[in-house]
Structure 1
Amino acid sequence: MTSELDFRLDDFDPADTASQLAESSLWAGDLTVLAEHHTTPEGAHSYLVAHDRAMTWDVPGEPQLVAIKITRDLRERTFTFETANHAGLAFAQNWLIERGCPPERIAQAGRDSINPADDLTLWIEKQIRESGSRYKVLDSRTSDFAPCETWTLTRDSNATQAPIRVFLEEANHDAHTYTMREGAFADEAAARHWLEDRGSPLPQPPDYRGEAAARLTRAALTRSAGASAIPKAGLDTGNVPSAGTAQRPNPRRPR
């Protein structure tokens, strides 16, 4: 389950001004931990992803998840504190993995979070988590109202065709599940036009048609092996759909 936030900084002082400002900018009462890893109860490193409820009252559309890395100097009793805001959980997890967090340790999400609806969602999120610096985030938007969704606009450095990728999360509130879909565009202008217009299905990446079945098979094997720890229910392993229009609460936003 999601847990009470504990930075584990009792008797530690900030190592620098940047760490002091970063730590003081977050109020524990506004944060709900979604995923976390600590090396030991008072180890050298802590990695957390939390939902910042204060952001729901900030500028509309701003990312509401914060990734936090804490490094403690156990001899000097000081700490460094780094943060980054993200719209999607997988992108926040990727940020932490790039900074030394074991992927399998931060992949566990709180069991009262809304659940991935299908294997393709699991596969796409795993791909993001383990992508390194592959995706450069260009923009994102989080909507708390209809349509209640989250999207992240990126540039895929591995793509030779349609390198602009949109990762769109939509939820089925009644089923307590959400889907993640990836869309591919030739340029940023085309992607932004689709996001504003929604007059056609989200265009699939060029390799999806030939690899959809293989992707679903790999995702199912990953799930059965326990490598993807994000909880889910009611999996649908049927045809790979384009993004739908279901309205939902944000999948990782406590209500």
Structure 2
Amino acid sequence: MITELDFSLDGFEPADAASERAESDLWLGDLTLLAEHHTTPNGSHSYVVAHDGSVTWGVPGEPQLVAIKIARNLADGTFTLESARHAQAAFAQNWLAERGCPPEKLIPSDDFLKPADDLTSQAEQRVRESGERYRVLDTYTYDSEPCETWALVRDSRATEQPVRVFLEEADLDGGTYTVREGAFADEQAARAWLDERPGPLPEPPANPATADHRTRAALSRSAGTSLSPKAGAQDSAATPSSANQPTRGRTL
């Protein structure tokens, strides 16, 4: 299992006060490495996703994952370091992707929980590759049984029901987790659902590209012919959540 984390900063000094402060805010003994990518051949940049165990002893609900970017100036022996806290791995990966890391380079190893199904993988891919599409409004992480995290976001591309909830539920016994996306008209409606859990997580409106793909597939089956698949958006529909109460994030 990947557990040891080394920033590889021996011989380097912080380039500015912000980098010195960011480094001092992270204690390697608290961090469990989930995924990392280092540029080659000179290793000038490092991108890391880690779990911060110290958060579990702090304020309940705080995000437990941290995304870290390190840029080393090999010529003058200085470095810059910036980090951000996230509730779910896909949002940490997105943050690093926006700062130059190829998203596919930061997939956690098989030593950790695995996506339970294709819908989970699709939801995480949407977040990883979303750029600045989702603005995070709030998160909550709960790490007792059953384990759950949620991220409340605003989708800048949505023309209807623009407030979205990404709900992650972990099955620690099975070694898997699911992620589902729900859609709401506003933040108040989303928070009401999270507080009360009156029913299944409301599915996002159908993506027109997805609907067209489904229509083509249905016509193909009814006509007994085969249409060549057309590249396009994957199905973003969520499936109902079985959660009855807020719980919190995946224990890593």
Q: With structure 1 as the length reference, what TM-score do the two structures score?
A: 0.84
Q: How much is the aligned-residue C-alpha RMSD, in angstroms?
A: 2.3
1:96-149 deviation digits (Å, cap 9, x = unpaired): 00000012212x202211110000000000010000000000000000124420
How far apart, in 1, do the equivalents of 2:34 and 2:207 lie?
Answer: 30
Q: Percent identity?
A: 61
- For residue 70 of structure 1, give the secondary structure of its aligned residue in structure 2: strand
Does residue 238 of structure 2 align to residue 243 of structure 1? Answer: no
Give the alignment of 1:37-48 within 5 angstroms. 37-40=37-40, 43-48=43-48
What letter corresponds to residue 51 of structure 2 in structure 1? H
How far apart, in 2, do the equivalents of 1:41 and 1:53 lie?
Answer: 32
Give the alignment of 1:20-99 within 5 angstroms. 20-40=20-40, 43-99=43-99
2:201–2:240: 8 Å Cα contact kept in structure 1? yes
Give the alignment of 1:102-181 within 5 angstroms. 102-106=102-106, 108-181=107-180
* CA gap 1:53/1:8 in 2 versus in 1, 3 angstroms: same
- For residue 239 of structure 2, give the secondary structure of its aligned residue in structure 1: coil
Cα deviation, residue 213, structure 1: 11
Q: Which has the larger radius of gyration?
A: 2
- Equivalenced residues, count: 229
1:174-197 deviation digits (Å, cap 9, x = unpaired): 211110000000000000000000
Higher relative contact order (CA 8 A, sep 6+): 1
Counterpart position of 1:225? none
1:15–1:78: 8 Å Cα contact kept in structure 2? yes
> Which runs of no fewer than 5 residues in structure 1 stay unpaired?
216-238
* CA gap 1:249/1:167 in 2 versus in 1, 3 angstroms: closer
How far apart, in 2, do the equivalents of 1:213 and 1:112 lie?
Answer: 38
* CA gap 1:169/1:212 in 2 versus in 1, 3 angstroms: farther
> Which runs of no fewer than 5 residues in structure 2 stay unpaired?
215-236
How far apart, in 2, do the equivalents of 1:191 and 1:12 lie?
Answer: 46
1:143–1:250: 8 Å Cα contact kept in structure 2? yes
- For residue 85 of structure 1, give the secondary structure of its aligned residue in structure 2: strand
Counterpart position of 2:225? none
